[in-house]
Amino acid sequence: MNDAMNFRGKTILITGGSRGIGRAIALELAARSANIAFTYHSRVEAARAVEQELQALGVEAQAYQADAADFEAAQAVVRQVRERFGALHGLVNNAGMTRDKLLIMMKEDDWDAVLDTNLKSVFNLSKAVVALLLKQKQGGSILNISSISGVIGMAGQTNYSAAKAGMIGFTKALAKEVASRGITVNALAPGLIETEMTEGLSAEYRAKLLETIPLGRFGTATEIARIAAFLLSEDARYITGQVLCADGGLVM
Ligand code: NAD
């Protein structure tokens, strides 16, 4: 199959698509002819701009305001996507946030916010999307954007590491539940990627982190997007329940 046509006629829903890795995945899939539905949390102007960028690539695109951590809001988004696009073929659970602190400094709210946004959101969206995919009887793909923090743990990120490790357990359990219906579920665990999430890191901390990356650099959102596109594509139909670290060799 021509790679550029890989996703023609398919619709993929991405959470947190207005910037960073989510936006890059949306653009990569649209370049391969996918129609894109994406959620955004608060920046309506950024979301509208991405919607236009996607439409300029010749695909259908629609942004939906929703807090991915809100169960009812997530169900409503999936209902609206079905009404607007007719069918759904894939989901990327990308919405995420950090609130880095040492455990002894961490407040209950820091724990709850990070677990809700990174992990409960995955339950919220996946539940609604799996119900729809089962009804459609055409299989589908779910991709969870975890992190190497969920694989090896990072100091100052007990909340985030727990949430991202939780995503990995969720990925493997759901993969086993839905494999017989032709639905694949995988996790992508990026290392350090240049986005708003990492731009606040101090020069000193960045230099220290770089020493731990064999390839000697941070990754880009586009690099992650290309791997995501592969895992969502027909070329990856025989891969499920896997965690792929894209981290310049950090976890080896
Ligand atoms: P980012 O901060 O640029 O983007 C995060 C996205 O999530 C934004 O679009 C934001 O609006 C959305 N979001 C946050 N809270 C939300 C909520 N409650 N409801 C809906 N959307 C919400 O960061 P990014 O680097 O693009 O991160 C994307 C994903 O990749 C996240 O899950 C993050 O944990 C993961 N990740 C990032 C890195 C990195 O180094 N940048 C590394 C590993 C994993």
pLDDT in tens, 154-188: 999 999 999 999 999 999 999 999 999 999 999 99
What ipTM was predicted for this assembly?
A: 0.98
In the chain, the domains with their CATH numbers are: 3-246 (3.40.50.720)
Cβ proximity of 40 and 15 under 8 Å: no
CA of 96 to the centre of ligand 1 (A): 4
Tens of pLDDT, residue by residue over 184-214, are: 999 999 999 999 999 989 999 999 999 999 9
Rounded to an integer, the average pLDDT of 39-66 is 98
Backbone φ and ψ for 188, nearest 5 degrees, come out as -115, 125
* pLDDT value of position 5: 58
Using a cut of 0.90, tell me whether the model's pTM lies above it.
Answer: yes
**Residues lining ligand 1, judged by CB closer than 6 Å?**
15-16, 18-22, 39-41, 67-69, 94-97, 117, 145, 147, 190, 192-193, 195-198
CA dist 37 and 14 (Å) reads 6
pLDDT greater than 70 at residue 3: no
Read off the amino acid at residue 116: D
Return the percentage of the chain with pLDDT > 70, whole number: 98
* pLDDT value of position 1: 47
CA of 2 to the centre of ligand 1 (A): 31
State which of 94, 109, 146, 192 you would mutate to test the pocket of ligand 1, scoring each by most atoms of that ligand within 8 A of its C-beta.
Answer: 94
Active site residues: 160
User: Looking at ligand 1, which atom is closest to the CA of residue 43?
Assistant: 11
* pLDDT value of position 108: 98
